[in-house]
Amino acid sequence: MDAASPLETYREICDRFLRAQGIEDLQKWMDYSRELQAQWISCFPRLLDLAETGDPEVWYALGDAFGNGRGTERNRDEATRYLRRAAEVGHARSMVRLGALLHLPDTPATHSSAIDWFRKAAALGYSGAMVSLGFAYREGHGVQSDTIAPE
Which letter does DSSP use for residue 53 in this model?
Answer: G
pTM: 0.87
- Domain shared by 82 and 20, yes or no: yes
CB-based burial, 91-122: b 16+ in 10 Å, e otherwise:
bbbbbbbbbbbbbeeeeeebbebbbebbbbbb
Mean pLDDT score of the chain: 91
Rounded to whole angstroms, how far apart are CA atoms 102 and 95? 10
Expressed as residue numbers, the domain containing 30 is 1-89
Is residue 60 domain-shared with residue 7, that is, in the same domain? yes
Is the pLDDT at 96 greater than 60, yes or no?
A: yes
- Cα 7 to its chain centre, rounded Å, is 14
Residues 62, 11 contacting (CB under 8 angstroms): no
Distance of alpha carbon 29 from alpha carbon 24, whole angstroms: 7
| Number of domains into which the chain is organized | 2
Q: Say if residue 51 is in the same domain as residue 36.
A: yes
Considering the domain architecture, whether residues 59 and 99 belong to the same structural domain is answered as no
pLDDT at 5: 94
139 by DSSP, 3-state: which?
helix
Quote the CA–CA distance of 126 and 96 in Å, as a whole number. 9
What percentage of the chain reaches a pLDDT higher than 70?
93
Q: What is the pLDDT of residue 1?
A: 43
Query: Using CA atoms, how far apart are residues 65 and 61, in angstroms rounded to an integer?
Result: 6
pLDDT given for residue 106 in this prediction: 67
pLDDT bin (cut points 50, 70, 90) of residue 4 is confident
- Within this chain, do residues 144 and 72 fall inside the same structural domain, yes or no? no
